[in-house]
């Protein structure tokens, strides 16, 4: 009798694991729809109430706040360096216009898409960043790690 109970348990467990994996693939496919939010009244969008987003432009949101980069070169040079770093760390620039960049990063396993947005504020001498997952709740800190790596590599090259 115990063997049959164990067999049923493993069948149920296997079904749950398969369902979760299928769900991740569905969410990965869903994340391919859409695009970066873009600038809203010349600011990067604030983060939603989820831990899968970071942004340097909204200091009052301490849960999602990261520091901006100090702009030490002209906007054109900064954008060129940022694009090189984005490419180096596996991103693809989707949009570029007048001191703004939007790029995407896609995870290898399930194909989740994250958006990285960058706004250069030449007046304040700052480069603001926002990185967020398109779907899901948690990103296991990936967006924050990606932005910190981007900041580090950019500073090394400028």
Q: What is the pLDDT along the chain (158 residues), one digit of tens a residue?
A: 577 888 888 888 887 888 887 776 666 666 678 777 787 888 999 999 999 999 999 998 999 999 999 999 899 999 999 999 999 999 999 999 889 999 999 887 777 889 999 999 999 999 999 999 987 777 788 999 999 999 999 999 87
Q: Which residues contact 72 (CB under 8 A, 6 or more apart)?
A: 125, 158
| Domains of the chain, CATH where assigned | 2-157 (3.30.310.80)
Q: How far apart are CA 39 and CA 89, in angstroms?
A: 23
Q: How far apart are CA 107 and CA 88, in angstroms?
A: 15
Residue carrying the six token digits 């790596």: 149
**How many CB atoms are closer than 10 A to CB 95?**
13
The b-or-e profile of 37-70 (16+ CB within 10 A means b, else e) is eebeeeebbbbeeebbbbbbbbeeeeebebebbe
The CA-to-CA distance between both ends of the chain, in Å, stands at 69
What pLDDT score does 157 carry? 83
Q: How far apart are CA 123 and CA 8, in angstroms?
A: 66
- What pTM does this model have? 0.81
**DSSP element (H, E) containing 98:** none
Q: How far apart are CA 36 and CA 93, in angstroms?
A: 11
What pLDDT score does 39 carry? 79
Partners of 105 in beta bridges: 114
């Amino acid at each position: 009798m115990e063997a049959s109970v164990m067999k049923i348990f493993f069948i149920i467990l296997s079904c749950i694991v398969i369902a979760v994996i299928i769900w991740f693939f569905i969410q990965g496919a869903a994340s391919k729809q859409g695009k970066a939010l873009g600038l809203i009244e010349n600011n990067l969008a604030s983060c939603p109430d989820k831990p899968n987003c970071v942004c340097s432009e909204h200091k009052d949101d301490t849960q999602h706040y990261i520091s901006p980069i100090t702009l030490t070169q002209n906007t054109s040079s900064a954008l060129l360096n940022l694009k090189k770093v984005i490419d180096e760390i596996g991103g693809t620039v989707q949009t570029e216009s007048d001191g703004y960049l939007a790029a995407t990063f896609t995870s290898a396993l399930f194909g989740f898409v994250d958006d990285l947005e960058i706004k250069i504020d030449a007046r304040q001498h700052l480069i603001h960043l926002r990185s967020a997952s398109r779907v899901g709740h948690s990103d296991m800190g990936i967006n924050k790690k990606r932005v910190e790596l981007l900041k580090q590599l950019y500073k090394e090259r400028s």
